[in-house]
A and B are shown apart, each in its own frame.
Chain A
Amino acid sequence: MQKRRQAISSTAVHAILFSYMVIALWPIFLTIINSFKSRKAIFRDPLGLPGADSFSLKGFEKVLLRSDFEIYFMNSITVTVATLVLVLLLGAMAAWALSEYRFKGNTWLGIYLAIGIMIPIRLGSVSLLQLIVDLNLANTLTALVLVYIAQSLPLAIFILSEFMQQIPKDLKEAARCDGVSEYTIFFKVILPLTRPAIATVGVFTLVPVWNDLWFPLILAPSKATQTITLGVQQFIGQYVTDWNAVLASLTLAIVPILIIYILLSRHLIRGITAGAVK
């Protein structure tokens, strides 16, 4: 009886997860199959797989040969990687300071940073734009990186400081007695031990930054600083939308994020197994 109930509940869980996976992957699947089809085939049978008569690389041709795709692509990668590195570094350092050192205003600073999770940064778009213009940073990738760091830091700090509090106190004290400086404790002991959390935060930071359309549109819309999500918009016109090109560039845009995700998730698994304290 007990066993049967367990089997049923596990089947149910798997069914729910599987259907979620199908729903999540469906648009990606449609994007990819249609990017390999001719324009006519896309409209004739949007759900059909590319066959001998419908197969076409026209979209990719257009995107790669007749547009500034590689500029958009590099811009996106630059912004995303710079944001990721800085958010992880600054977030981990701030989290360590908040969780390890007792100083005046420690709790209030933590709460202040946590509020950042609850308030959508887009509410401040107007003042952000003003600030960026005042700083002479309009139409630069720096502007995007700065805004994305501000957007991602609160959650990063929140997750990482929770995680760092779990690291046994003895370990830090042993290192301190061992003659290790605070910086070395952070970089050589704490960071390696928080790797799973860092991978998690990395993924959480990565996806919204890569997919963002809003800030590139208002802060850096110039030809030289467009990111991929903005660049794709040129194929979407008021009267005619070049679906081949849109779908092809979206397909290409999935590739780098997929690679970074796979790299991070491998770290995630390795980090969990290596963590064993005591």
Chain B
Amino acid sequence: MSDIQLKNIDKAFGKVKVLHDVNMNVNDGEFVVFVGPSGCGKSTLLRVIAGLEEVTAGEIFIDDELVNTVQPRERGIAMVFQSYALYPHMTVYKNMSFGLKLKKHNKQEIDDRVRKAAETLQLTDYLARRPAELSGGQRQRVAIGRAIVRKPKVFLFDEPLSNLDAALRVQTRIEIAKLHKKLDATIIYVTHDQVEAMTLADKIVVLNDGRVEQVGAPLDLYNNPANIFVAGFIGSPRMNFLKGTVASVKGDTVEIRLLDDKTVSFAHSTPANENDSATIGIRPEHLLLAGAADGLLKAEVDVVERLGDVSYLYCALSDGTPIIASAPGTSLAKTGDTIHLTARTEKIHVFGPDGNAWK
């Protein structure tokens, strides 16, 4: 059992409040990812859990034990840092065994644990080397190894892949996912990269400006974002937002008037009234190229990104609103073209003036 509960966590540095009333549960064996733009407080939240920062208010429980005043070394956590933070004057073996030696484990057991971790992480050949003689990916694996050998209750990862190049990042990401399955460990992972969040997490916590915006499974956040922020943050390329007003509400059908007096209607059981302002969100993959006659949106193509299987068309509407559409890889659209788009109405998200999604 190693679950974590955060209750009403506030954290301020001097007068600057960086965390506002954060509440959250992390269950045993769960892979939780904190995601958000830089400066949103996700790393601070992780450091609060680690015990490297004290909370201004609120309670932290690990295994139902209040740990607010417990030192990091007694919390049963292991942390992996973005900068690896390996001891430069020690070999890989010593880096991994350092913490264990101080805890007076017997020599044989330390050796077993280090060698096993090294094998898991394919570091056996490098045990005698120093960090300076390793590549970035290897150093990150040593840092993970140093965490594994301690058999902690909770693993904390602070943007562990940010310093790696793209190919290595994908590879290490898969390694971490495998590791999670293998160790059945509770992991809290901080990243600003929503792809990492989507691919690794059992549960994603989206943070913005020190507040939890939404907590949920990756696809849950993708399909049912609670507000404009989450909708815009999760998914790549980001969701398109179009401002409009409610034209009519007839039973379960809502009609929204957009730019150029075009209207879009779709099923939604919401107590909205006529002339309420509303923002609709459509993901690029839910916009379809159409003929001029039945097009909902008329846009001019600015840039085309061809990825092979798919092409992203970065366009602007007549009032300058940017919009991104995904087209098949075979699309011939080019910069300067005028295109017409329709939306898959069942995939439309609607947000009220307060930014929250219509329930």
How many residue pairs, one in A and one in B, have C-beta atoms under 8 Å apart? 71
Complex contacts, B357 vs chain A, CB 8 Å: none
Contact A278 B83 (CB under 8 A): yes
* A14 contacts the other chain (CB 8 A): no
Complex contacts, A176 vs chain B, CB 8 Å: 52, 71-73
How distant is the Cα of A271 from the Cα of B81 in the complex, in angstroms?
Answer: 24
How distant is the Cα of A143 from the Cα of B241 in the complex, in angstroms?
Answer: 79
Size bin of chain A's contact surface: 20 to 34
Q: Which residue of B lies closest to A176 (CB)?
A: B72
If A178-B146, A179-B103, A181-B73 touch, whether A173 touches B79 (CB-CB below 8 Å) is yes
* A192 contacts the other chain (CB 8 A): yes
Contact A276 B52 (CB under 8 A): no
If A178-B146, A179-B150, A275-B88 touch, whether A168 touches B83 (CB-CB below 8 Å) is yes
Contact A184 B88 (CB under 8 A): no
Contact B52 A173 (CB under 8 A): yes
* A274 contacts the other chain (CB 8 A): yes
How distant is the Cα of A170 from the Cα of B98 in the complex, in angstroms?
Answer: 16
Q: Which residue of B lies closest to A184 (CB)?
A: B102
A171 to chain B, nearest CB (A): 5
B interface residues, how many (CB within 8 angstroms)? 29
* B182 contacts the other chain (CB 8 A): no
Complex contacts, A52 vs chain B, CB 8 Å: none
Contact B85 A174 (CB under 8 A): yes
Q: Which of A54-101 contact B (CB under 8 A)?
A: none
How distant is the Cα of A30 from the Cα of B87 in the complex, in angstroms?
Answer: 48
Q: Which residue of B lies closest to A173 (CB)?
A: B52
B305 to chain A, nearest CB (A): 34
How distant is the Cα of A173 from the Cα of B78 in the complex, in angstroms?
Answer: 11
* B99 contacts the other chain (CB 8 A): yes
B interface footprint on A189-218 (CB within 8 Å = 1, 0 otherwise): 100110000000000000000000000000
* A126 contacts the other chain (CB 8 A): no
* B50 contacts the other chain (CB 8 A): yes
Complex contacts, A181 vs chain B, CB 8 Å: 73, 102
How distant is the Cα of A192 from the Cα of B130 in the complex, in angstroms?
Answer: 14
* A177 contacts the other chain (CB 8 A): yes
Contact A192 B89 (CB under 8 A): yes
How distant is the Cα of A192 from the Cα of B88 in the complex, in angstroms?
Answer: 9
If A168-B83, A170-B81 touch, whether A178 touches B150 (CB-CB below 8 Å) is yes
B46 to chain A, nearest CB (A): 11
Contact B78 A178 (CB under 8 A): yes
How distant is the Cα of A277 from the Cα of B131 in the complex, in angstroms?
Answer: 8
* B233 contacts the other chain (CB 8 A): no
How distant is the Cα of A174 from the Cα of B348 in the complex, in angstroms?
Answer: 46
A199 to chain B, nearest CB (A): 15
How distant is the Cα of A180 from the Cα of B94 in the complex, in angstroms?
Answer: 13
How distant is the Cα of A278 from the Cα of B83 in the complex, in angstroms?
Answer: 7
8 Å CB contact of A177 from B72, B102, B139: B72
* B1 contacts the other chain (CB 8 A): no
Q: Which residue of A lies closest to B88 (CB)?
A: A277
B79, B81, B87, B99: most-surrounded residue (chain A CB, <10 A) = B87
B77, B99, B103: most-surrounded residue (chain A CB, <10 A) = B99
8 Å CB contact of A274 from B82, B89, B143: B89
Complex contacts, B102 vs chain A, CB 8 Å: 179-181, 184
A interface footprint on B130-143 (CB within 8 Å = 1, 0 otherwise): 11100000010001
Q: Which residue of A lies closest to B152 (CB)?
A: A177
How distant is the Cα of A7 from the Cα of B99 in the complex, in angstroms?
Answer: 52
* B189 contacts the other chain (CB 8 A): no
B145 to chain A, nearest CB (A): 12
Complex contacts, B71 vs chain A, CB 8 Å: 176
Chain A positions within 8 Å of B, measured between CB atoms, are 168, 170-171, 173-181, 184, 188-189, 192-193, 274-278
Chain B positions within 8 Å of A, measured between CB atoms, are 50, 52, 71-73, 77-79, 81-89, 98-99, 102-103, 130-132, 139, 143, 146, 150, 156
**Besides the known contacts A178-B73, A178-B78, A184-B102, 16 further A-B residue pairs in the complex with CB atoms under 8 A apart:** A170-B83, A171-B87, A173-B79, A174-B146, A175-B98, A177-B52, A177-B72, A177-B77, A178-B150, A181-B73, A188-B98, A274-B88, A274-B130, A275-B88, A275-B89, A276-B132
Give 20 CB contacts A-B under 8 Å.
Answer: A168-B83, A170-B81, A170-B85, A173-B81, A174-B86, A176-B52, A176-B71, A177-B156, A178-B98, A179-B99, A179-B150, A180-B99, A181-B73, A181-B102, A193-B88, A193-B89, A274-B88, A276-B131, A278-B131, A278-B139
